[in-house]
Structure 1
Amino acid sequence: WAPVRYKGLNWAVISEVAQEEVNRPVMQLLQIVGLLALLAAVAVIFVSLRVAGGVTEQVDEIMQGIAKVEKGEYGEQVKVTSEDELGRMAGSFNQMTTTIQDLIESRQKEHDELQDSIIRLLEEITELADGDLSIRATVTEDVIGTLADSLNLMLEELGTAFVRIKQTAEQVGSTANILSESTGELAGQNNNQASMINEAVQEINLLTGAIREAADQANQSASFSRESSQVAAEGAKAVRETSQAMEAIRGNVQNTARSIKRLGESSQEISDFARTINEISDRTSILALNASIQAAAAGEEGRGFAVVAEEIQRLAERAAVSTRQIETLIKNILGEITEAGVSMDSSIQEVVQGTTLSQNALARLDEITNRSNEVFELIQGVASAAQQQADTTAILATSMGEIGSISLETAEEAMGASVSMQEMAVMGNDMLQAVATFKLEAEDQADDAPAEVVEADVHDA
């Protein structure tokens, strides 16, 4: 229905439609949607079954391949059943197993070759136990070849060393005989030298005693000078501390004076405020009096106002009394502040004079300290020079005594060395016999040049 107004009257238009006809389009749309949903569900189920079947088959193949790899079977290949990510994964797995199999075969081959090289090297060096240093190991291109090359180099160096040992042993025997004769003559000369050194040591000891006595006296003078310098330094320190304290007092007094001045200014301001309050209370009292007069003129109606006016007048009188008391108190405070300011100015002048006197005394003490230090340094230099000279002569005496002792010891050692040289000749012969048990390949090649070098070393020694 719908409202209609016609010629000032309200009308209503009514239309009737069957319920089945209204719902028919909706029902048709619902049937179409349901059919489409059913078809879509069937299609999704069909595609899911196909995809799940392919994925399951490829995953089973990969899992079987992994199980074989865990058992050590790297030669088996996984069947590729799809071209998606799982198929590519299966292909990569096949490449990995192939690479692992090739690596295992390569490592096994290298291990076999290394084992053969070790066995061959052991067979070649077994003759070393019999003293044959002329053998050489076969050099290959693997790690054992490097070891064999190092072993060959070591055998060459060892052979050359044994040849030089043999030559050295021969030269030791001949040189020991020559040194045995020379050490006998050296022992006699050292005995004469020891006697002369003992006489020189006695004279040096006398000189050392005189120098030490002079050094002791210089050290005593230096000690006295040092004590004087320390006393002057302590006095300067005390005066400096006193001066610093005076400066601090001066600063504190100046700060106090400024505070007192600010206090006086504040008190003056308070006095002005109190004067203003007093004037206000006087005016308030006059106003209260006028109000009381007007309230009395008003009669019965102004009685309440008169009570208030009287109370205001009493408060004004009390305020006036209080302000007068405050003014009196502030005047007393200002008087005391003025006296304190005068006293502080006097104290500042005294502190300034004390600071000046302290600075003058400090300058004099610093000058005394400097002079004392100069005297101490001069005396200390004399004492140090005397002490150094005494130490030098003492060291010289000690050295001469040690030289004498060394000369005696040298004489004894020379005699012992003569015996040792004879024993060394015997040891050289024993060494030649020991070296002769080894078979040396480089013995003939090293006969000339090394012998000259060793002989030159012996003569230089």
Structure 2
Amino acid sequence: MGIRARMRVLLGCMLIGLILISGLGLLSLRSSMIGARQNQVQHMVQSAISIMKYYHGEELAGKLTRDQAIHAAGIAIQNATYNDGKDYFFVFDYNSVERFISNPKLLNKDMSNVADADGVLFVPEMVKAARNGGGFVSYAFPRPGSTEPKPKISYAAAFDDWQLVVGTGVYVDDITTAFWEETLKQLIYIVIVLVILGVVAGVLVRSVLKQLGGEPAYASEVVRRIAAGDLSAEVRTESRDEGSLLAGIQRMANSLRSLIRQIHENAGEAGHLTVEVANAANKVASGSDSQSDATRSMAAAIEEMTTSISVVADSAGEASRLSGEAGNQAREGSRIIDSTSNKINHISGIVANSAASIGALGEQTDSIASIMQMIREVADQTNLLALNAAIEAARAGEAGRGFAVVADEVRKLAERTSTATAEISGKIDAIRAASQEATVRMGSVVTEVATGVQMAGEASTAIASIRDDAGRVVTSASQISEALREQSSASHAIASHVEDIANMAEQNSSNARRVAEASQRLDQIMRGLKDSVGQFRV
């Protein structure tokens, strides 16, 4: 099936789909319009029932009699209209007698035997539906001023307290008219869409055929023929567009024909070259074997030299380690001497402070001696005053007896003070002598400590010199050891490289043999390629 036939089938399927979608939409529209009319008449009947309930309430309240209430409610319902006065209400009793209606000819008329053009007794049907809780009745009835029956939908509900049925209806012939008008519009839309789709499909088909250069089935056949190795046939194109698929396939077939001829020619020449490559590879393999033997002998000699260098490097490392330990011990001795010097300096400071404290103690004892001398003089003066007081008390006789006792006690206290002062002075003199002697000895200690500090400094300087010399020795030994290690590493590297050269020589020999084998295999492949290319018909 060609692309044009397929496009026609696609358009037919789209037409069927559009018709189905439009039909379902129209049926749904008709159903919704009828539902809207049913809701309208049901709502209007409920409004009329509300009027009856109001007047029934007046009856129950005693304001109206039942007949008055029924008449007032019936007149109110009878006079009510809607839809610009086109539609009205009617009231039946349970015997299908018309009680209230805007048409005076139908008042009090028995409607139980009245049927529409289809034989439907619509009034008894409405009474029945009303007494069953309310319902809809469809029938045909002429419009006012006309004798032609039109389809109508009515809703009726019962008011059981008065045994009356209230109903109203609307004509639905306009719904049918609107339905067919909408159907005509949908058909017009479908035709317009189909025309547009047909134009678009035609443009697309021409565009596809232009891009393909012909029918897809023919393009597929050409590709299968080329895949089977037939390059002899010419490719036909319906359009002159060089950018079409079939034109590209034609150019591809021409290129393949040229390529196959060239491959056939080059395959023979490549076969001769592979023989030459195989011979050269065999010669390279023989030379690589000789090179591998020589490099392995060189690697063994370098390995022996590397072992000797490693022994010397280990000895240099041991010397460097011992020198390092000597340097560490010198640093430790210097640290101990520095610590000792610091301790001696600290002791010197303590001794100097002690000498200063003892000197200050001597000065304080001199001050205490001066104070004790003053106390002694005060005691002597007090003793003299007490003696004078006793003399005066004796002169006073009996009146001065009490004063004489006090003066005697003061004299005794002055004598004890003089005695204690003399003892303290003796002790202070002893302390002064001891302080002077301690000061002299502390001075000697300070001199000795200063000498010790000087000697410790000289020892620290000597140890520092030893430490520096040991550090230089360690540095030199480390440099020698590092140089030997570097030389050992270089020797190892040289040995490794020589070994790598030997391995590469072996690999070259192996690769040369594989090249020779590959050349032989390539020669076989070239022969197979010539056979394969020979299958194409050019």
- Which gives a bigger RCO, structure 1 or 2 (Cα 8 Å, sep 6+)? 1
The answer to which structure has the higher helix fraction is: 1
Higher Rg: 2
The answer to which structure has the higher strand fraction is: 2
- The two structures have a TM-score, normalised by structure 1, of 0.49
- The two structures have a TM-score, normalised by structure 2, of 0.42
